[in-house]
Amino acid sequence: MKNIVFIPLLVSVLAIISGCAVEKRDNIQQESISSATQNSYNRKDWPHWIDADADCQNTRQEMLIATSRVPVKFKDPRHCTVISGEWFGVYTGKTFTKASDVDIDHIVPLAHAHRHGADKWTRDRRRAFANDFENLLVVSDSANHSKSDQAPHEWLPPSRNYWCEYGKRWTRIKDKYRLWHSVQEQKTLELLAETCQ
């Protein structure tokens, strides 16, 4: 029964993504209306991969250490930089052992957050968002590049097994930081929630 329900659900989600080119034009037109009052996005305004506790391990390194399935190995005696471990990439369903093969993804991308309410944030709040472990995932570098700054109606993890959790985490982060959703984005999140059944 679950598979029977999942098939039309999958078709609906894929239909939304395949139609994103048209929807994307609409979104650009809508967002251009407020562009005069919205500051332009600059990644330098979002301090990320900081060393908050001054132990020489920045946010990326601490994520790699915290999520590795095995004890990590370091490049240097001070244990500042991770070179290997074992990470399961939930976006692709593949396992990685080289730190150079993975990226730390912002589930809700910085640029997306900027366009959906964060353009008025202070630098301190942007720093907190950019280094919030709840908004971070260890993923394959190729998946991270493919996703870029896209929302769920524009991009979803290749592994459908993660769609339910992806929708939950996306919603949780945007609610936590009070970022707004577009109509098409919200429709996709509702469909992703149905994959949890």
Is residue 31 predicted with pLDDT exceeding 80? Answer: no
Read off the DSSP letter of residue 88.
Answer: E
CB-count exposure of residue 96 (10 Å: 0-12, 13-18, 19+): buried
The stretch 26-33 carries a mean pLDDT of 40
Name the residue ranges covered by the structural domains of the chain: 2-38+47-194
The reported pLDDT for the residue numbered 15 is 57
Is residue 140 predicted with pLDDT exceeding 80? Answer: yes
The stretch 8-26 carries a mean pLDDT of 50
CA atoms within 13 A on the CB side of 3: 0
Cβ–Cβ under 8 Å, residues 183 and 175 = no
Burial 160-187 (b: 16+ CB within 10 A, else e): eebbeebbebbbebbeebebebbebbeb
Is residue 80 predicted with pLDDT exceeding 80? Answer: yes
Tens digits of residue pLDDT in 148-194: 999 999 999 999 999 999 999 999 999 999 999 999 999 999 999 99
pTM for the complete prediction?
0.83
Is residue 17 predicted with pLDDT exceeding 80? Answer: no
The reported pLDDT for the residue numbered 20 is 46
Rounded CA separation 117/68 (Å) = 33
Is residue 2 predicted with pLDDT exceeding 50? Answer: no
CA atoms within 13 A on the CB side of 62: 16
- Backbone phi, psi, residue 104, to 5°: -100, 115
- Token readout for 191 is 């469909």
Is residue 143 predicted with pLDDT exceeding 60? Answer: yes
Helix locations, 19-162, DSSP H: 20-33, 59-67, 110-115, 123-130, 141-147
More confident residue, 25 or 90: 90
Nearest Cα neighbor of 62 from 132, 12, 5, 146 is 132
Segment among 23-27, 42-46, 54-58, 138-142 with least mean pLDDT:
23-27
The reported pLDDT for the residue numbered 32 is 40
Band (13; pLDDT cuts 50, 70, 90): low
The stretch 34-57 carries a mean pLDDT of 86
The stretch 119-134 carries a mean pLDDT of 98
Average of per-residue pLDDT values in the chain: 88
What is the SS3 assignment for 25? helix
Is residue 126 predicted with pLDDT exceeding 50? Answer: yes
